[in-house]
């Protein structure tokens, strides 16, 4: 017992196995030290917080997001696929200064907290290259918001035109030369920037930790992937990549490597417990999933952005059967239009129901909530978040029980997972500190953030206008190319064939 002690009395506590019961929680130095029946004795110096008429749940954990997406909200057109997005205006992070990088992360953190999320895994990109200052600006935004985060520079050594064989040839002459001239930052330059970031981490790792994000296997040479894995091992940090997110990636991977993307990564020695794979949709149902399970790779499931970009449905039940730890993520605010973990969690459960009529195989509300808390915690590598239990961090969300979907109250877990949209969030505590209460974020000035965001959006849209205009034309052509690639007659994973033939 070392720090400030707090007792939360009168709440309905969502504990293990989804059971909710009236209990009191004692917190010391930001951690839960006891959960007991109501009214247990504490000394007079313990601060009292009333949670009467509240459901107390562990803070949701976002296993995959990109803070840079917050400043690009609204920049991604309707009917845009993944590869169109990657070549288009919405993905642009050009012309941003350090203040913009901080601002984008602060906007993202503010939304997550408002919607009951207390920790995230952020792959943050910088143009033209990753830097210690840029990643520190992002980490500082989370620190100022009072949130936990894993922050990884999102990196690659190939442009999309180098990543997808045949793409350049499919473009008209004028665009081909323009796109062929683009180049990613050389490997050594990027890896040495990452080395600097990892060697000089200045944030308390109880709260904010570093990682590496080699973005998409096809966008990274083998030497680059191996270099990232070596660096991660050397510094004891996690890695996250976007794996088999689109049908085109899986099809092109087969052509490029002569085996599936997972098979290729396995051969490189890239699969390990250190790695988490975001999306993981277009996998071979048997071999790939077994390989991921056997090597301890974790998965970040992103149902909202998978639907928004038309990427597909991840085989989550099969992953769980193979012992894979799966978390839930929102992905960036420019590809899923928000950081709402309640919605992502609900979608994770609902989407599991379109595969067949065997109700036993569906993800229950409890399963989905487990993924969005303890499953995501495994992706982040934080051992003591995602549960309300003694020894765990006091990351607690207080939900109002007078919200319509809780009235009448019969099954708090089901009513929360299937009915909550974040509007019932009354109070958010992270590490024993209240960071949001009664509609107000207590750590960041949201009015100021809004003003700064509008100013930055106008300035950046103007500075990037030329890039945006040419990106719009290229994006359409890339979309056509990738749609065709996804449906060619190469040896494709089972689901690819079914979809293409259907
Ligand atoms: Zn992503």
What is the 124 CA–ligand 1 centroid distance (Å)?
10
What is the 272 CA–ligand 1 centroid distance (Å)?
20
- Two tokens at 296? 């301890």
R_g (Cα) of the chain, nearest Å: 22
pLDDT at 486: 67
**Stretch 342-349: mean pLDDT:** 98
What is the 390 CA–ligand 1 centroid distance (Å)?
33
Task: For residues 81 and 435, give the distance between their C-alpha atoms in angstroms, rounded to a whole number.
Answer: 36
What is the 67 CA–ligand 1 centroid distance (Å)?
10
Q: Per-residue confidence at 2, pLDDT binned at 50, 70, 90?
A: low
Give yes or no for residue 314 having a pLDDT over 60.
Answer: yes
Quick one: DSSP state of residue 88?
S
What is the 215 CA–ligand 1 centroid distance (Å)?
8
Which of 253-257, 300-304, 380-384 has the weakest average pLDDT? 253-257
Instruction: Please report, for residues 35, 425, 492, the alpha-carbon distance to residue 15 in angstroms, rounded to integers and kept in the order given.
Output: 10, 18, 43
What is the 86 CA–ligand 1 centroid distance (Å)?
11
What is the 242 CA–ligand 1 centroid distance (Å)?
6
Task: For residues 81 and 423, give the distance between their C-alpha atoms in angstroms, rounded to a whole number.
Answer: 30
- Two tokens at 9? 């009395």
What is the 127 CA–ligand 1 centroid distance (Å)?
16
What is the 269 CA–ligand 1 centroid distance (Å)?
23
Give yes or no for residue 453 having a pLDDT over 60.
Answer: yes
What is the 48 CA–ligand 1 centroid distance (Å)?
41
In which residue are the tokens 């890239």 written? 270
What is the 335 CA–ligand 1 centroid distance (Å)?
8
What is the 68 CA–ligand 1 centroid distance (Å)?
11
- Two tokens at 157? 């050594």
Task: For residues 258 and 499, give the distance between their C-alpha atoms in angstroms, rounded to a whole number.
Answer: 21
What is the 336 CA–ligand 1 centroid distance (Å)?
10
What is the 450 CA–ligand 1 centroid distance (Å)?
24
Task: Please state the three-class secondary structure of 241-257 as a single string.
Answer: EEECCCHHHHHHHHHHH
Largest CA distance in the chain: 78
Per 3-state DSSP, the chain is made up of helix, strand and coil in percentages (nearest 5) of: 45, 20, 35
What is the 331 CA–ligand 1 centroid distance (Å)?
5
pLDDT, tens digit, for every residue of 202-242?
Answer: 999 999 999 999 999 999 999 999 999 999 999 999 999 99
**Stretch 189-213: mean pLDDT:** 98
Q: Quickly list H helices, 36-97.
A: 82-87
Q: Which 3 state secondary structure label does DSSP give 49?
A: strand
pTM of the entire predicted model = 0.96
What is the 392 CA–ligand 1 centroid distance (Å)?
28
Asked if residue 248 lies in contact with residue 85, where contact means CB atoms within 8 angstroms, the answer is no
Task: Please state the three-class secondary structure of 477-500 as a single string.
Answer: HHHHHHHHHCCCCCCCCHHHHHHH
pLDDT, tens digit, for every residue of 376-407?
Answer: 999 999 999 999 999 999 999 999 999 999 99
Give yes or no for residue 357 having a pLDDT over 90.
Answer: no
Q: In sequence order, which residues have a C-beta less than 8 Å from that of residue 63 and are 6 or more positions away? A: 120, 121, 276, 278, 298, 300, 301, 327, 328, 329, 375, 376, 379, 380
Q: Per-residue confidence at 485, pLDDT binned at 50, 70, 90?
A: confident
Residue 92 exposed, middle or buried by CB count within 10 Å (0-12, 13-18, 19+): buried
What is the 20 CA–ligand 1 centroid distance (Å)?
34
| Sequential DSSP letters for 281-311 | -S--TTHHHHHHHHHT-EEEE-HHHHHHTT-
């Amino acid at each position: 017992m070392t720090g400030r002690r707090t007792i939360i009395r009168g709440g309905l506590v969502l504990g293990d196995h989804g059971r909710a019961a009236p209990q009191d929680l004692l917190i010391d130095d930001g951690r839960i030290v006891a959960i007991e029946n109501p009214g247990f004795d504490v000394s007079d110096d313990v601060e009292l917080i009333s949670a009467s008429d509240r459901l107390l749940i562990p803070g949701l954990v976002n296993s995959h997001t990109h803070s840079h997406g917050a400043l690009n909200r609204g920049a991604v057109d309707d009917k845009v696929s993944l590869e169109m997005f990657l070549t288009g205006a919405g993905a642009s992070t050009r012309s941003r200064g350090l203040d913009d990088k901080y601002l984008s992360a602060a906007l993202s953190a503010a939304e997550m907290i408002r919607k009951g999320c207390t920790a995230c895994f952020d792959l943050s990109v910088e143009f033209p290259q990753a830097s210690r200052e840029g990643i520190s600006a992002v980490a500082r935004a989370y620190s100022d918001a009072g949130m936990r985060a894993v922050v990884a520079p999102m990196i690659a050594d190939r442009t999309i035109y180098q990543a997808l064989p045949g793409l350049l040839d499919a473009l008209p002459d004028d665009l081909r030369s323009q796109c062929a001239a683009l180049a990613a930052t050389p490997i050594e330059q990027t890896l040495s920037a990452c080395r600097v970031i990892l060697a000089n981490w200045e944030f308390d790792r109880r709260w904010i930790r570093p990682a590496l994000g080699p973005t998409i296997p096809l966008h990274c040479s083998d030497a680059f992937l191996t270099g990232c894995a070596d660096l991660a091992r050397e510094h004891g940090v996690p890695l996250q990549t976007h794996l088999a997110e689109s049908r085109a990636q899986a099809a092109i991977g087969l052509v490029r490597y002569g085996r599936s993307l997972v098979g290729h990564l396995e051969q490189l020695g890239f699969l390990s417990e250190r790695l988490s794979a975001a999306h993981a949709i277009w996998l071979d149902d048997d071999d790939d999933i077994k390989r991921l399970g056997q090597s301890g790779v974790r998965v970040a499931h992103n149902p909202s952005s998978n639907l928004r970009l038309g990427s597909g449905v991840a085989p989550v039940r099969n992953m769980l059967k193979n012992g894979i730890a799966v978390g839930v993520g929102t992905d960036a605010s420019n590809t899923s239009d928000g950081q709402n973990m309640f919605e992502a969690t609900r979608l994770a459960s609902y989407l599991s129901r379109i595969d067949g009529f065997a109700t036993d195989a569906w993800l229950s509300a409890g399963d989905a909530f487990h993924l969005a808390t303890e499953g995501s915690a495994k992706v982040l590598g934080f051992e003591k978040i995602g549960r309300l239990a003694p020894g765990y961090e006091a990351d607690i969300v207080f939900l109002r029980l007078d919200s319509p979907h809780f009235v009448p109250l019969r099954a708090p877990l089901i009513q929360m997972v299937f009915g909550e949209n974040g509007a019932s969030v009354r109070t958010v505590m992270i590490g024993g500190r209240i960071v949001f209460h009664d509609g107000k974020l207590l750590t960041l000035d949201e009015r100021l953030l809004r003003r700064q965001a509008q100013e930055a959006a106008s300035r950046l849209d103007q500075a990037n206008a030329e890039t945006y205009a040419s990106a719009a034309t290229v994006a359409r052509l890339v979309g056509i190319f990738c749609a065709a690639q996804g449906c060619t007659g190469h040896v494709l994973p089972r689901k690819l064939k079914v979809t293409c033939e259907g």
